[in-house]
């Protein structure tokens, strides 16, 4: 069987996995359907490439650089606290060059199918029709942002409709009446940007969330002290709740629905512009749309508004088109994965970056990659299958209890997850050393 492994995707998660393989001397091929590293971060100049990107022209990171950077390769000092997407892509390019990853990546190469081989390992088929055999497949293809989801309502709206994936900038909405659906980071960005040029901007919100400023007391709000990093979500909650009360007060005061969960049971929406735009009258909050007739939209509170365009900032379904449904599930819920990485029932398949961090993906993707690299070298081992299934069930019950919406069982607290990855590596190594010593004693006896 081939000793090579296959990495699918050269975005933020894929290059983290590639680095872990290079460090360990594991032979591999990485396939990237785009022309460069960066994945979802690389803003496409060609509209036809929008299916490969989730960026828009004005996009800035909604987590600060010290939180989003890879532990092995810090962002440069001259980079702003909240970098523009072009600066993030430059950083990802520098990461790939620093670790010598490009020689292992085949760009403009799409994987159309990955399936277990009849004997062992995996067969990976490319768009050119060729098939290659590997001992393992490492999926890092941005599956959490796989398929755009649109808001639903009765009737027919005759104005323009687009998903945030198709949004390029505010220019085409000057002087128009625009409704933005959603209250995530993307909805907050797009609504505030469009409100500067539109005649009217409505923000239609189904579920309330906690909005926080990006900067507090002169520093990024997500830059936790060493003490705060050691605390659990529940232990941090009183401090976070007090901060929100002092800084922004009650979300109801802005015309937004109250979040149906406690502080810390879901990600914050980091925006220093959304709430000021609301109190300045540039954005008018509305509840969910229930029906449309021509250009008239009716909302759940009985109000109505005339609109020229609707922008759906309503998220995504999980989609990994080159894998069978038995490996990925139905898209609404994540496949059951041991530590968000390993499907217990399938050998040689690993998912990198298929999780929803309450802050940033990159450090968690690197932590996952280090663990998977150790699994591939045999430095650590997976527990028996029945134990993995038990841990999966336990983790899912805990997610459902701790988080209001665990995003298809993908949501994790980043500090806890990093500690989990570290513990898996160190505990297994210690077990392996103990086993080796015991075996050696038996031999001597």
Task: Give the pLDDT score at 428.
Answer: 61
pLDDT at 431 over 80: no
**3-state percent helix, strand, coil for the chain, nearest multiple of 5:** 35, 20, 45
Are 374 and 437 in the same domain? yes
pLDDT at 439 over 60: no
Secondary structure of residue 94 in the 3-state scheme: helix
Provide the token pair at 253: 């005061």
Are 161 and 288 in the same domain? yes
* Alpha carbon of residue 3 to chain centroid: 30
312, 329, 349 - which closes a domain: 312
* Alpha carbon of residue 102 to chain centroid: 23
Residue 265's nearest CA partner among 287, 232, 242 is 232
Task: Give the pLDDT score at 303.
Answer: 96
Task: Give the pLDDT score at 240.
Answer: 87
Are 327 and 413 in the same domain? yes
Are 24 and 77 in the same domain? yes
Q: For the residues 343-351, what does the mean pLDDT come to?
A: 97
Contact 327, 346 (CB under 8 A): yes
Give the torsion sign (CA, 192, 178, 43, 186).
positive
Are 272 and 333 in the same domain? no
Are 298 and 403 in the same domain? no
Provide the token pair at 14: 């894929």
Are 84 and 132 in the same domain? yes
Residue 285's nearest CA partner among 349, 212, 390, 211 is 211
Secondary structure of residue 66 in the 3-state scheme: helix
Are 252 and 163 in the same domain? yes
**Whole-Å CA distances, 423 to 308, 339, 351, 409, 426:** 53, 12, 19, 21, 5
pTM for the predicted model, two decimal places: 0.91
- Beta-bridged to residue 133, according to DSSP, are 123
- Helix or strand holding residue 123 (H, E): strand 122-126
Domain holding 116, by residue range, is 5-146+316-441
Neighbouring C-beta atoms of residue 45, cutoff 10 Å: 7
Task: Give the pLDDT score at 48.
Answer: 54
Contact 110, 33 (CB under 8 A): yes
Are 380 and 399 in the same domain? yes
DSSP-H helix ranges across 215-314 = 226-230, 233-247, 274-279
What is the bridge-based pairing of β-strands 177-181 and 200-204? parallel
Distance separating the N- and C-terminal Cα atoms of the chain: 37
Give the up-direction half-sphere exposure of residue 42: CA atoms within 13 A in the CB hemisphere.
22
**pLDDT tens-digit profile of 281-304?**
999 999 999 999 999 999 999 999
pLDDT confidence band for 331 (50 / 70 / 90): confident
- Beta-bridged to residue 162, according to DSSP, are 311
Secondary structure of residue 159 in the 3-state scheme: coil
Residue 343's nearest CA partner among 363, 361, 358, 329 is 329
Residue 413 φ then ψ, to 5°: -85, 120
pLDDT confidence band for 52 (50 / 70 / 90): low
Are 171 and 291 in the same domain? yes
283, 312, 341 - which closes a domain: 312
Provide the token pair at 76: 């440069």
Quote the number of domains for the chain.
2
261, 278, 312 - which closes a domain: 312
What is the bridge-based pairing of β-strands 105-106 and 28-31? parallel
The single residue listed with the structure tokens 């968690």 is 364
Contact 214, 62 (CB under 8 A): yes
In terms of C-beta density within 10 A (0-12 exposed, 13-18 middle, 19 or more buried), how is residue 440 classed? exposed
Are 419 and 299 in the same domain? no
Are 219 and 337 in the same domain? no
**pLDDT tens-digit profile of 365-407?**
999 999 999 999 999 999 999 999 999 999 999 999 888 876 6
Residue 237 φ then ψ, to 5°: -55, -45
The single residue listed with the structure tokens 């997850």 is 417
| CATH number of the domain residue 204 falls in | 3.50.50.60
């Amino acid at each position: 069987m081939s000793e090579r492994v296959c990495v699918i995707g050269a975005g933020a998660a894929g290059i983290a996995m590639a680095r872990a393989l290079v460090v360990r001397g594991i032979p591999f091929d990485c396939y990237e359907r785009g022309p460069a590293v960066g994945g979802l971060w690389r803003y496409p100049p060609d509209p036809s490439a929008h299916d490969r990107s989730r960026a828009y022209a004005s996009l800035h990171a909604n987590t600060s650089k010290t939180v989003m950077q890879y532990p092995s390769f810090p962002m440069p000092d001259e980079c702003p606290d909240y970098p523009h997407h072009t600066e993030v892509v430059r950083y990802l390019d520098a990461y790939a060059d620093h670790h010598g990853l490009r020689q292992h990546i085949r760009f403009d190469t799409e994987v159309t199918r990955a399936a277990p081989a009849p004997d062992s390992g995996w067969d990976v088929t490319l768009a050119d029709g060729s098939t290659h055999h590997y001992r393992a497949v490492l999926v890092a293809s941005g599956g959490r942002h796989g398929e755009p989801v649109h808001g639903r309502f009765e009737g027919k709206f005759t104005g323009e409709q687009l998903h945030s994936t198709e949004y390029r900038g505010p220019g085409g909405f000057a002087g128009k009446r625009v409704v933005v659906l959603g209250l995530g980071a993307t909805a907050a960005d797009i609504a505030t940007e469009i409100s500067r040029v539109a005649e009217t901007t409505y923000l239609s919100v189904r579920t309330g969330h906690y909005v926080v400023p990006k900067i507090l007391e002169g520093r990024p709000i997500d830059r936790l002290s060493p003490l705060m990093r050691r605390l659990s979500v529940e232990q941090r909650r009183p401090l976070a709740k007090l901060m929100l009360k002092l800084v922004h007060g009650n979300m109801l005061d802005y015309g937004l629905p109250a979040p149906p969960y406690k502080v810390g049971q879901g990600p914050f929406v980091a925006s220093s512009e959304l709430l000021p735009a609301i109190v300045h009258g540039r954005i008018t909050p509305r509840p969910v749309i229930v029906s449309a007739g021509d250009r008239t939209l009716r909302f759940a509170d009985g109000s109505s508004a005339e609109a020229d365009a609707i922008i759906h900032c309503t998220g995504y379904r999980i989609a990994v088109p080159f894998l069978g449904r038995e490996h990925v599930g139905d898209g609404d819920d994540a496949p059951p994965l041991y530590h968000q990485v390993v499907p217990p029932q399938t050998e040689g398949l690993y998912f990198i970056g298929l999780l929803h961090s309450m802050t940033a993906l990159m450090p968690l993707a690197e932590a996952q990659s280090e663990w998977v690299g150790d699994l591939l070298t045999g430095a650590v081992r997976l527990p028996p299958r029945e134990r993995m299934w038990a841990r999966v069930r336990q983790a899912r019950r805990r997610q459902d209890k701790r988080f209001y919406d665990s995003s298809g069982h993908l949501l994790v607290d980043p500090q806890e997850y990093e500690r989990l990855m570290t513990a898996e590596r160190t505990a297994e190594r210690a077990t392996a050393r103990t086993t080796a010593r015991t075996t050696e004693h038996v031999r001597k006896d």
